[in-house]
Amino acid sequence: MTNTNITFDKSTIPNLTGRVILITGGTGGIGAELVVELVKHNPGRIFFTGRNAKSAESTIQRAQVAAPNAPVSFIQCDLASMASVNEAARKILAETDRLDVFLANAGIMAKPEGLSADGYEIQFATNHLGHALLTKKLLPLLERTADLPGADVRVIITTSTAWGGGSLPFDRFKTTIKGHLGRWMRYSHSKLANLLYARELARRYPKVLSFSLTPGVVSTSLVSDLGLLDKGIVYVSQLGQVLTPEQGTFNHLFAISAPRDSLKPGAFYEPVGKLSKMETARSKDPDLPGQLWDWTEKELEKWIE
């Protein structure tokens, strides 16, 4: 049973002529749906990333059906490997001289304990650190684009209401962070990082409109690949609320389409286009976004090429 209350008027999506868009995680789930929708609005170019080249082919084929000759390019990128992110950023920077919209969307959820190739907790590495390195590499281009006449540059970071259960145990991010229901706790940590990073990005780089959002609970492989128990918990606790992959794009489409001055830099939006009132002690801590930024910068210095 899906949620029929979540709707979005696609006629409000602006003409994207000349605008260049980057979507991480375009090989599946919400990211793939976004590529297929956005090509219909005449973008200058859409880059999308992911690890799986075969799935990328399927996204490209779907995009070509939606808009023949759609300017869509796949850039292979494993966000859990800093070397791979550096290489992906190098390719993107070589192929475009502007970047108007960056959707930091890819993610993993409730994975077993593990470390990334570079020794970080795997969900934090994939969901936050890889995106942070990509953002750092692309910021000069985003800022240059923002200086162009008529530009409207946005960085939209996908988080989840799961951030409410998260904290930022900086001294444990180079461990697997064991613990009771650890897989969910680790996801929450990474999603709190997504939320606070967007907030700090907005504060430090005001020319770029940065904020975060959740797509809602969506029936993608993020959920369907869970173990039986976890899947049961999600579907039972979200009965009647689960969105289709198409509906899962609506909050992103709002974030791209809403007039710039109607959006709040650094804010968190729930579907569709609702400025969230959700708060926790951590989200209210005025020092935490800066601490996350400084910790992240220090780590990225070791890897940036």
Ligand X SMILES: NC(=O)c1ccc[n+]([C@@H]2O[C@H](COP(=O)([O-])OP(=O)(O)OC[C@H]3O[C@@H](n4cnc5c(N)ncnc54)[C@H](OP(=O)(O)O)[C@@H]3O)[C@@H](O)[C@H]2O)c1
Q: Which residue has the tokens 């240059």?
A: 144
Residue 202: CB minimum distance to ligand X, A: 19
- Tokens describing residue 166: 């998260």
Q: Which residues of 64-81 are buried (b: 16+ CB within 10 A; e: fewer)?
A: eeebeebebbbbebbbbb
CA 242: distance to chain centroid?
A: 19
What is the C-alpha to C-alpha distance for residues 124 and 73, in angstroms, rounded to an integer? 27
Which single residue brings its beta carbon nearest to ligand X? 29
Q: Looking at beta carbons only, is 96 or 126 nearer to ligand X? A: 126
Q: Looking at beta carbons only, is 78 or 145 nearer to ligand X? A: 78
Residue 267: CB minimum distance to ligand X, A: 16
| Chain positions contacting ligand X, by CB under 6 A | 25, 27-31, 50-52, 55, 77-80, 105-109, 126, 158, 160, 214-215, 217-218, 220-223
What sign for the dihedral angle of Cα 215, 220, 225, 228?
Answer: positive
Q: Which residue has the tokens 């613990």?
A: 179
- Host H or E run for residue 37: helix 29-38
Residue 23: CB minimum distance to ligand X, A: 9
Closest by Cα among 101, 129, 31 to 263 = 101
Residue 151: CB minimum distance to ligand X, A: 26
157 and 210 Cβ atoms separated by less than 8 Å? yes
Q: Looking at beta carbons only, is 46 or 77 nearer to ligand X? A: 77
What is the C-alpha to C-alpha distance for residues 287 and 244, in angstroms, rounded to an integer? 37
Task: Respond yes or no: is residue 197 known to be catalytic.
Answer: no
Residue 150: CB minimum distance to ligand X, A: 30
What is the C-alpha to C-alpha distance for residues 138 and 42, in angstroms, rounded to an integer? 23
Q: Which of 120, 187, 205, 269 is catalytic?
A: 187
| Catalytic positions, written as ranges | 187
